Structure 1
Amino acid sequence: MVTRLWRRVFGRGGPPPLDPARTDLVVVASSFDDAEACSAALARADAFVADHPVLLRHHLRIPAARLAEVGAIAAQDGYEPAETDARAGEDGLVPLILRRVQTLDALHCAQERSRMAGLAQRHDGFADGWDAMQPA
């Protein structure tokens, strides 16, 4: 326990940084159900490695005219948009995936999920869910 704390404080021996462009990333945890707690989604995720960084992705639908504004606000928290199909759906909303690398636990997952839901709602959109990716 002391060794793990020592490594965390001084950054030695931890997992390597995660490159979002890696081609071997797979979804290890996800939830697209508003009623499901992040803790429940992470508990049922068999392949999720808690001490390793993940590529956390939030799946939003936003009006096309608001995409740049939403992206700029999310960038303040370290999120970047992933390439997606920029065509609007039947509801007139464009899919937007915002992603960032972080260590994930139930508390931080819930905080980010709430933040993204609020961001989407303030810009007349929807937060459909989230997923977390790690190397296969």
Structure 2
Amino acid sequence: MGWRSAWQRWTGRGASAGWDPEQVDPVVVVSSFDDAESCSAALERAAESWTPGIPALLRHHLRIPAEHVETVTALAAQDGYSPAGTAPATADLLLQRMQILDALHCSQERSRMASLAQRHDGTALGWDALQPPRT
């Protein structure tokens, strides 16, 4: 399932609740691949590009042993995450979900993904979020 399908599932009515992913190509507005950086610090650093209150496509970059990718994908799907692109054949996994982005929820999801990866002999490399470009 792609991010457009995730958006429609998340809003329950297509893209009318915020931005329309069918008409706007989102851009990365914030990212963090540093374990020591808090989500609040990353969001503060991204104040010029990130728009609070507008849904974002939150993506977690995981490195998972190939034999665990299917299990990790299935477990993450229970929380609304889907793999980006087609089903991964390698050990690098990108899980994504549409949500309102704030420091608390970002931190919770970052911790959840790190725990999920660790339980399956993997590593959470970092995260990023996409939103429509500012005009």
What does residue 112 of structure 2 align with?
115
The question of whether the paired residues in 1 share the 8 Å contact of 2:63 and 2:125 is answered with yes
The question of whether the paired residues in 1 share the 8 Å contact of 2:19 and 2:132 is answered with no
What does residue 47 of structure 1 align with?
49
What does residue 73 of structure 2 align with?
71
CA distance in 1, matches of 2:23, 2:53: 19
CA distance in 2, matches of 1:70, 1:84: 15
What does residue 133 of structure 1 align with?
130
Aligned length: 117
CA distance in 1, matches of 2:86, 2:126: 15
Summarize the Cα distance change of 1:28–1:69 in structure 2 as closer, same or farther, 3 Å threshold. Answer: same
The question of whether the paired residues in 2 share the 8 Å contact of 1:25 and 1:134 is answered with yes
Supply the AA of the counterpart residue of 2:64: I
How far does residue 83 in structure 1 lie from its aligned partner after superposition?
Answer: 1.9
Instruction: Give the alignment's TM-score, normalised by structure 1.
Output: 0.79
- Once the two structures are superposed, residues 30-85 of structure 1 have per-residue CA deviations (whole angstroms, 9 ceiling, x without a partner) of 10000000000000102100010000000001111111100010000000000279
How far does residue 16 in structure 1 lie from its aligned partner after superposition?
Answer: 2.0
Instruction: Give the alignment's TM-score, normalised by structure 2.
Output: 0.79
The question of whether the paired residues in 1 share the 8 Å contact of 2:61 and 2:126 is answered with yes
Supply the AA of the counterpart residue of 2:77: A
Amino-acid identity (%):
61
Q: Which residues of structure 1 form unaligned runs of 5+?
A: 1-13, 89-93
RMSD of Structure 2 on Structure 1 (CA): 2.1
CA distance in 2, matches of 1:67, 1:17: 31
The question of whether the paired residues in 2 share the 8 Å contact of 1:18 and 1:53 is answered with no
List structure 1 segments (4+ residues) > 4 angstroms apart after TM superposition: 84-88
CA distance in 2, matches of 1:128, 1:104: 19
Summarize the Cα distance change of 1:22–1:65 in structure 2 as closer, same or farther, 3 Å threshold. Answer: farther
Q: Which residues of structure 2 form unaligned runs of 5+?
A: 1-15
Considering fraction of residues, name the structure with more strand.
1
